[in-house]
Amino acid sequence: MKFGIVILPGSNCDHDAWHVAKNVVSAEAELLWHKETDLKGADCVIIPGGFAYGDYLRAGALAKFAPIMEPIRRHAANGGLVFGICNGFQVLTEVGLLPGALMRNEHLRFLSRDVFLRTEETDTPFTSELQRGQILRVPIAHGEGNYYADDATLDELERNRQVIFRYCDGEGRMTSEANPNGSARNIAGICNASRNVLGMMPHPERCSEELLGNADGLGIFKSIVASLARV
């Protein structure tokens, strides 16, 4: 299997994701420049964190015009895996692969710290190796991570079990105090209706090795590898 990691102008987590894919889970991995129109055989495309195009207008808004986005849309439509992390989640909402939008953090401050996530669903290629209800400690680093959608969209996400991760406390309780940015219903990550596109604000690639003091994020990458091995 192969990962393709997109480099957009302003990306700064591309090599982190490449390192985990290549050196931690031992998969083939290739960096994909934003002007590419070929995904080079990638089974899972990762849109990493950073500040694509300087986040001008709003986070992710200009990235949807990058030439590589059209093959990513086709890849997703054909059932290929697409994983957006932080700025990548923002990009996926802008290009229409995921519903809703990411707004300024509720307290208008950039946040960089660890948070707890509760795993809500495990029947996705991104969470198949996790346990439902499993609590992960994962870092965030964002100023626009406040997930918003109207009530009808949020209700549909709930009905379809598309809410994959929620912010919680260390005991798994979903409280307002555990919500770092004001996201609706403590949402930290969602998938599309077909379950092959995932967007999440926290950074699992930054906590996938015990050397860094925490490997809770590794389960997401292991899930991707295991899911593709079963295809």
Beta strand 163-168 pairing with 187-191: antiparallel
* 113-162 tens-digit pLDDT: 999 999 999 999 999 999 999 999 999 999 999 999 999 999 999 999 99
Active site residue 86: yes
Terminal alpha carbon distance of the chain: 10
* 4-33 tens-digit pLDDT: 999 999 999 999 999 999 999 999 999 999
* Residue 210: C-alpha distances to residues 14, 20, 88, 162 (Å): 20, 12, 25, 30
User: What is the Cα–Cα distance from 176 to 185, expressed in whole angstroms?
Assistant: 9
* 173-212 tens-digit pLDDT: 999 999 999 999 999 999 999 999 999 999 999 999 999 8
User: What is the Cα–Cα distance from 88 to 97, expressed in whole angstroms?
Assistant: 11
* 59-100 tens-digit pLDDT: 899 999 999 999 999 999 999 999 999 999 999 999 999 999
pLDDT at 29: 98
Q: Which of 13, 44, 86, 168 is catalytic?
A: 86
pLDDT at 81: 98
pLDDT score of 231 more than 90 = no
| Nearest in space to 73 (alpha carbons), one of 108, 105, 22, 39 | 39
Helix, strand, coil percentages (3-state) for the chain, rounded to 5, are 30, 25, 45
pLDDT at 108: 94
pLDDT at 58: 85
Residues 6+ positions from 142 with CB-CB distance below 8 Å: 49, 86, 87, 105, 110, 111, 181, 201
Task: Give the domain range for residue 142.
Answer: 2-230
pLDDT at 56: 83
pLDDT at 182: 98
Residues 6+ positions from 168 with CB-CB distance below 8 Å: 116, 117, 118, 135, 174, 175, 178, 186
Answer for the pair 167, 177: CB distance below 8 angstroms, yes or no: no
Residue 15: phi and psi, rounded to 5, are -75, -25
User: What is the Cα–Cα distance from 179 to 2, expressed in whole angstroms?
Assistant: 34
pLDDT at 157: 98
Q: What is the mean pLDDT of residues 33-62?
A: 93
Active site residue 75: no
pLDDT at 227: 97
Residue 83 burial class via C-beta count within 10 angstroms: exposed 0-12, middle 13-18, buried 19 and up:
buried
pLDDT at 159: 98
pLDDT at 55: 87
Domain CATH for 190: 3.40.50.880
Q: Which of 94, 144, 205, 207 is catalytic?
A: 205
Name the domain count of the chain.
Answer: 1
pLDDT band at 57 (very low <50, low <70, confident <90, very high): confident
